[in-house]
Amino acid sequence: MNDIYDAAAGAAILGSGGGGGYQDALMIINQLAGNPDWSGVVPVGDYDGSSPCSVIFMMGSPDAAGQMSLEELSACIGNALTVQTNVCGFTPTCTIPIETGPINSLAPVIAAALNLGGVTWVVDGDGAGRAVPELPQTTYAGSALPVAPCVVADNATVASQMQSGVLTTTSTPKVESLAGAAVKAFGSFAGVSMWQSASGNGYALTGNYIPGTLEQSRALGNFLRSSAQTDTATVAAKIASLTGRSAAAVVTNYYITQVTQATSSASLDAGVIRLDTDPDPAHSTNTVFLYNMNENLIAYSTAQATPLIIAPDSICYYSEDEKAGFSNATPDLAVYYDFTTGQSTGKKVSLVQVTAAPQLVSTPGVMESFTTLLRAIGYAGALPT
């Protein structure tokens, strides 16, 4: 059980503010611990190139979802897998996360733990090495994995009441648009199963995912939960050693002094978060603004004209006060920002920049997708090279 807590703790940092809420993840893991259907073991390993597999994840707004329970998550994922089996004619024996994040790293683990849809083990990897706002920003989107069928399902626990959709369009951006509409119709969150890897496509997951990300999250979480030395610079160094990517503490021990968030028509939480050197912005010597769409995408400082960090590099939250990462979900932010008073709670937060995984940025279409997304929120400058 400690491994699952560790994985969620690590993913809460590496998710770059997205991938689901950390507080929700902790609640779900607590519920899993007492679930009689779980044997206590979830096998994790590299993809073997011969097992039917599917990418599964939760899609939608963490804030609109509220406090997601184990029952809700497992119903969404179980429903999506059941419909997929009926449509595709095979049962996936393994699954893989779409991205790194507290909920979406956990969803495949839950599927294997509870044997949802016949899943028995989890592939150690994902499609981004961070959380991403949209499906085209993954390695899966630029691979030979089939974009259809994509199954979207709600959290009904009675089969006759289940709402689901099977999307059979021709491109990942079109799937993103259609799936977002379905999620909104279902109530702002849903389970998704897609990018099937099976004999018919030569088990196309092989070579088209970023390996080792689940273990990296687990090892980082274990370090956080067991080490006494957890200042931001040390955490950044640990991230670099685990991931093989550059990582640096860019903002250390600021305070969240303003949060402006809203849920978009595509069921994404978008907004701006302000960080200051003092809990009282009037006494701040520097201000940083974070622009997000579920995930953190741009960090600006008032001290310079160019962005501090910009996607696809990750802008990772870490708090030395809490020895934990967190997401942009309201229950996570509420630890650091009092939504009632509109003031900092006094707990400090830091930002760690982690360079994007080379496999992600080299995947056809990924950088173009990030560029389109950043332009849509008003950024007109250069992207990292």
Residue 266 has pLDDT above 70, yes or no: no
Output the average pLDDT for the chain: 93
pLDDT-based confidence at 377, cuts 50/70/90? confident
The mean pLDDT value for 23-35 works out to 93
Query: Can you list the alpha helix ranges (DSSP code H) found in 142-191?
Result: 172-186
Reported as a single tens digit per residue, the pLDDT across 268-321 is 667 899 999 999 999 999 999 999 988 999 999 999 989 999 999 999 999 999
Residue 290's nearest CA partner among 232, 320, 238, 251 is 251
The mean pLDDT value for 370-380 works out to 87
In this structure, of 120-124, 196-200, 264-268, 323-327, the range with the lowest mean pLDDT score is: 264-268
* pLDDT value of residue 189: 87
* pLDDT value of residue 184: 85
The mean pLDDT value for 105-130 works out to 97
User: Tokens at residue 143, please?
Assistant: 């691979």
Ramachandran category for residue 314: left, alpha or beta (phi over 0 → left; psi -120 to 50 → alpha): beta
User: What separation in angstroms does the CA of 33 have from each of 4, 41, 56, 94, 236?
Assistant: 10, 11, 21, 21, 30
Q: Cβ contacts of residue 358 below 8 Å, gap of 6+?
A: none
* pLDDT value of residue 122: 98
* pLDDT value of residue 255: 98
Answer for the pair 152, 167: CB distance below 8 angstroms, yes or no.
yes
Residue 42 has pLDDT above 80, yes or no: yes
Write down the pTM of the prediction.
0.94
In this structure, of 136-140, 169-173, 207-211, 319-323, the range with the lowest mean pLDDT score is: 169-173
Answer for the pair 131, 160: CB distance below 8 angstroms, yes or no.
no
Residue 385 has pLDDT above 90, yes or no: no
Ramachandran category for residue 153: left, alpha or beta (phi over 0 → left; psi -120 to 50 → alpha): beta
Question: Phi and psi (nearest 5°) for 271?
Answer: 175, -165
Q: Fill in the amino acid letter for 216.
A: Q
Beta-strand (E) ranges in 199-334?
210-211, 247-263, 269-276, 287-293, 295-301, 309-310, 314-318
* pLDDT value of residue 271: 87
DSSP bridge partners of 337: 344
Q: Cβ contacts of residue 124 below 8 Å, gap of 6+?
A: 44, 45, 46, 211, 212, 213, 214, 215
User: Tokens at residue 375, please?
Assistant: 């332009």
* pLDDT value of residue 376: 84
The mean pLDDT value for 344-355 works out to 98
Residue 108's nearest CA partner among 50, 165, 47, 182 is 47
The pLDDT > 90 percentage for the chain reads 83
